[in-house]
A and B are shown apart, each in its own frame.
Chain A
Amino acid sequence: MILVRRRAGGPPTGPARVARTRSHELSTGDRVLQWVSGVAATIPLAGLLFITIILVVWAIPAIIYSGFTVFTSDKFFIGSFYNPNFSSVNGIVAPYGASYGALTFIVGTLTSSLIALVLAVPISVGGVLMLSEWIPRRLEGPLSTFLELLAGIPSVVFGFWGLTVFGPFLGAHIFPALSHLGVILPFFKGSWAYNGQGLLTASLVLTLMIIPIIASTTRQLVKRVPVLASEGAMALGMTKYEMVRVVTIPYVRTGIIASALLGWGRALGETIAVLLIIGMANNPPVNIYGTTSTLASTIAADLDSAFSDGTGMAVRAMAMLGLLLLIMSLITNLTGRLVVRRISSEALPVGRGV
């Protein structure tokens, strides 16, 4: 069987080539369309480049001022603006006592998003497989719609709910029970804020926020598993569970990894919900319940006061945090692409090569 695929960016076929070579014959409408689509295609790339360049340029003085302490120090202090003295490092002048160690925020960002990812992937994948294989078909539609509606809830609403309802509930009823588990699982040991503010609550809310992202992608993938492949398993008398394990999961694995990384990216950059829930402490979390801050939430919370720094360095420090976040997102994104490319090279089509 020969599949005819048109490659993106390949040579234009027949009529398009004719139209392109005789551009002087194009109508006004065609010219306008050419321009509009050209501009539209350039904007995203230009946007990414522009933002990256601006961030780098703005961050450079803060990077020079801090050096490697950005990664090693958890002391982040934008300095006392009213002190007549200044701190000067490597020729960069900043308010007195200024220190831009970002370790707290790096740790906060990574832990909160990773906990969310670890919880969201099995819940999403398990839920989708449940919906597609075991739940009666007439319930599948409404339940899936409900799942996807979760994606439409604004993050500030998630934050508000987490701060006023979910956090206090966890603090009063769940965390006490969890901390008893500390006997078996040491990372559950420790004390928590009475209103539940802190790392674990933020992670749980992030989990809810990224479940729809992972679940909706996984659902599309599960629907695309070839019937012929599933029937092969059924014809051997395999149970649904065995079929899912032997056929469905290998087929959707690549896509799940890709969607998990997409969800991780969302969790890394989530700002307002985390800001409201994580407690915004200027230190790494003391335990799994501990208050801390993330890169995104710190920028949102501190940028306003950073502008009152007469030396301008505080804003540059914020740009540096933004740059760190951008780099993290790019790394997860690129890693995801690499993983997907490597795995999908073990192609899985049914009936191919015939």
Chain B
Amino acid sequence: MQLAGTNVGTQEAVSEGVSVEGLTVKFRGTPLIEGISNLFEPNKVTAIVGPTGCGKTTLLRSINRMHDHVAGMQVSGKVVVEGVNVYGADVNVREVRRRVGMLFQRPNPFPRSIAENVGLAPRAHGLANRGNVRDLVQEQLTTVGLWDAVSSRLHGSPFGLSGGQQQLLCLARTLALSPDVILLDEPTSALDPDTTDHIEQLMKKLSERMTVLIVTHNLAQASRISDNVLFLMKGNVVEATSARTFFHDPADERSRAYVSGRIG
């Protein structure tokens, strides 16, 4: 079972989103998240919130199988992306990660040129060739609003850019693979308010053509950009609902306490 590829630039809206079924992740036998089930709706921004250590990032990283590389991590249950269980027996992990992009807590550009940062992965995946990679680079850098700032130094080091610009570059790098799902792990926690605002706008816009999952500690941010909220505590789902309900009329007492700042 292999996921079909999509063409760069001709993306259609995704249809099925991400569905997590009975997902348990253990580290050396200790459960980090326990039997989580949830549907992350397509073309929506879902914020995953909860106190430190509740398993937000663990959940996020199971969706693109980042736990594969950490010794001692055991994952059980299903994660279905666009109809395919990414933990299925004959799944192509490379293709899963092509379709599920990720942005990290801190910018982590490759120690290569700015253009290569965006162009290398599409080249590796066969989504671009020597002839059209430059157009792809320009297109993605324009999408994230970085083109004007870097067009004159495409072959320079990304480490000369500001932190916010580096994070935008990492976003362009991820978008260059035309993902259906994008995972954001506190992507703005280290950034200035302007870039944060810029990235939040981008998230809203990107959700028109992909499923967006964002882990955040910042409730104000969650309320600004999310359509849905998944609230976790101690590795379990407390409440999964629309953002409006979560912030204004949560069902669970613990959600109310968390939203009002009584627990953090």
Contact = CB atoms under 8 A, between A and B. Distances in A.
Interface of A: 1, 137, 226, 228-229, 231-239, 242, 246-247, 250-251, 346-354
A137 B71 contact: yes
Contacts of A228: 104, 106, 108
A244 B13 CA distance: 34
A43 B116 CA distance: 49
A347 to B, nearest CB: 6
Nearest to A236: B121
Contacts of A348: 111, 159
Contacts, number: 93
A350 B108 contact: yes
B98 interface: yes
Contacts of A353: 159, 161-163, 166
B120 interface: yes
A237 B166 contact: no
B95 interface: yes
A158 to B, nearest CB: 37
A226 B111 CA distance: 11
A234 B108 contact: no
Interface residues of B, number: 37
Contacts of A236: 97-98, 101, 121, 124, 173-174, 177
Contacts of B157: 346
B153 interface: no
Contacts of A235: 64, 66, 97, 101-102, 104, 174
A229 B112 CA distance: 12
A238 B166 CA distance: 20
B177 A247 contact: no
Given A236-B177, A350-B106, A354-B191, 16 more contacts: A231-B69, A232-B173, A234-B97, A235-B66, A236-B121, A236-B173, A236-B174, A237-B124, A246-B116, A246-B120, A250-B110, A351-B107, A351-B190, A353-B163, A353-B166, A354-B163
B94 interface: yes
B111 A247 contact: yes
B96 interface: yes
Contacts of B125: 237
B93 interface: yes
B106 A237 contact: no
A232 B104 CA distance: 8
Among A232, A237, A250: residue with most chain B CB under 10 A: A237
Among B104, B170, B190: residue with most chain A CB under 10 A: B104
A191 to B, nearest CB: 47
A197 to B, nearest CB: 45
Contacts of B96: 237
A352 B39 CA distance: 36
B121 A238 contact: yes
B66 A234 contact: yes
Contacts of B109: 232, 350
A247 B110 contact: yes
